[in-house]
Amino acid sequence: MAPSLVEATTTTGSTTAELRTYKLQAGQYKELDGHSIDYDVETGRKGGRGAKYPHYLPTWDREQHYPPLEPFEHYEHGRDADPAFPNLLPKGTEVTDLTPFIGSEVKGIQLSSLSDEAKDELALFVAQRKVVAFRRQDFADLPISDVLRYGAYFGRHHIHPTSGAPEGFPEIHLVHRGETDTGAQEYFKTRTSSVAWHSDVSYEQQPPGTTFLYILDKPTTGGDTLFVDSVQAYKRLSPLFQERLHGLRATHSGIEQVNAAAAAASIKRREPVVNDHPLIRTHPATGEKAIFVNDQFTRSIVGLKQEESDALLKFLYDHLAYGADFQVRVKWEEGTVVVWDNRVTQHSAIVDWENGQRRHLARMTPQAERPYETAFERS
């Protein structure tokens, strides 16, 4: 498995520069190999100089230790939604479909002031469109506690086992590359591409559904995010092949992510878990079926021999990765909140921007139901 640059930014610390930075303890400031490490001794925050949203800079609190996640009953609000979306998308709202299958852009509404009926519609709209970019939002300027209260409507907030979080808010997962980070340069010394398709924390027993990512600071160009529609990817397969995939289960592991963090002397909030999920899962609001395996966290197909499992998984990963005709590339603008459904999509950050520019985002990751499948239907 290629270490993910996406998650590495704040979770695995798998690049050399980050490794060194993580090894510093709060209160130390050092220069190593001539690289000045941008590390604030007062706050323990890394890469903070000149940040637009300093209270959103990543911290890794070594005192945070949590018990295993307990199962909970997920309520799927998308099921209650009016499919005409009268509350979410009132007259005058500008909606642009970015591609036929996946991705829309919405202007003219403020997510933070939606009624509960409108939030139900948001869950369904995002499940149908897979990923939606809402422009000119105020999330970044609200108190973090308000954003979290808002997001809790969609499910129990996931707390990431290893990633950096704003001080006091472990429910926020941060993606941050500061102005002085050289991690990308280091990474590309041994890799050809930063693309690392995944569905977030799919190793959890109840992986996330409706997921929010909002921009805090961005490079002038670059740093877009790619999304793939895993429902359309399923539909492109022959009925015979679809039928064969039904009933199969795959293991998803969080062990390597925690190990990578440990190797970088970073934190472990919870013991890692391994869970099996159906290879084809059904979305509870739309009834759509989606391929649910990803290169970052899926390890093997239960009951197959290793070579068989590797070959089948490789086919599925390639099918998703090459499917530019069911993918979308979302461009960030100041104030953008991107909402996607992790049950029916995969995504990847793109690390292509000029050194010396900050890219800073915050993710809210409500967990959803335990993945389930419904019977194969010939279309």
- Positions that interact with Fe ion (CB under 5 A): 200
Treating both helix axes as pointing N-terminal to C-terminal, what angle do 183-190 and 16-23 enclose, rounded to 10 degrees?
A: 130
- Based on the shown chain and the rule CB under 6 A, indicate whether residue 131 belongs to the binding site for ligand AKG: no
CA distance 82 to 221: 38
Q: How far is the CB of 184 from ligand AKG (least distance, A)?
A: 12
| Strands 131-134 and 104-107, bridge-based pairing | parallel
CA distance 213 to 336: 9
Amino acid, single-letter form, for residue 198? H
Residue closer to ligand AKG by CB (options 120, 200) is 200
Residue closer to ligand AKG by CB (options 290, 349) is 349
* 13: three-class secondary structure by DSSP: coil
Residue pair 226/196 in contact by the 8 Å Cβ criterion: no
Question: What are 231's two structure tokens?
Answer: 């429902």
* Binders in 150-209 for ligand AKG, by CB under 6 A: 175, 200
Beta-sheet strands, E only, within 181-294? 210-217, 225-229, 249-253, 274-278, 280-282, 289-291
| Strands 289-291 and 131-134, bridge-based pairing | unpaired
What does 320 bind: ligand AKG, Fe ion, none (CB cut-off 5 to 8 Å by kind)?
A: none
Residue closer to ligand AKG by CB (options 102, 349) is 349
Given candidates 363, 364, 368, 373, which one binds ligand AKG under the rule CB under 6 A? 363
Judged by CB under 6 A, the number of residues near ligand AKG is: 9
What does 180 bind: ligand AKG, Fe ion, none (CB cut-off 5 to 8 Å by kind)?
A: none
Given candidates 279, 349, 364, 368, which one binds ligand AKG under the rule CB under 6 A? 349
Residue closer to Fe ion by CB (options 119, 347) is 347
What does 225 bind: ligand AKG, Fe ion, none (CB cut-off 5 to 8 Å by kind)?
A: ligand AKG
Residue pair 163/11 in contact by the 8 Å Cβ criterion: yes
- Based on the shown chain and the rule CB under 6 A, indicate whether residue 140 belongs to the binding site for ligand AKG: no
What does 349 bind: ligand AKG, Fe ion, none (CB cut-off 5 to 8 Å by kind)?
A: ligand AKG
Q: How far is the CB of 334 from ligand AKG (least distance, A)?
A: 15
